[in-house]
Amino acid sequence: MTNKYEIIDVRPSNVSETGFFCFMSKRKSEGFRRKLGWVRSRFDEGMRIKMLKLPERGFIEYLPGEYAWRAVDAKGFMFIHAPILRMRRRLFWRRLLKKV
């Protein structure tokens, strides 16, 4: 197992280039463009995305609890909305979580 990996901080300034995990292979599709607009709006609410650089596959998406789109009372906390890790090595999940 290799310990080489890179975690990308996805921001409004680089989201078009880095992507946001969903629809990564369909950047010209209507679905990608709509999701990109939605993601940009969530950045205004404080959402953050940390993503493993390819070839590893994984990301964590989190935002201030008062903006969570799930039924939670989490004001003053960070809410992890979408933790996704598509690999067998849990080591990377722990490293992503530590970046939050």
pLDDT at 24: 62
Does residue 86 sit in helix, strand or coil? coil
Tell me what the mean pLDDT of segment 31-56 comes to: 86
* Mean pLDDT computed over every residue of the chain: 79
**pLDDT given at position 89:** 58
Determine what percent of the chain is predicted with pLDDT higher than 70: 74
User: What are the φ/ψ torsions at residue 38 (nearest 5 degrees)?
Assistant: -65, -45
pLDDT digits (tens, 9 = 90+) for 47-80: 999 888 777 777 888 999 999 888 899 999 999 8
Distance of CA 93 to the CA centre of its chain: 12
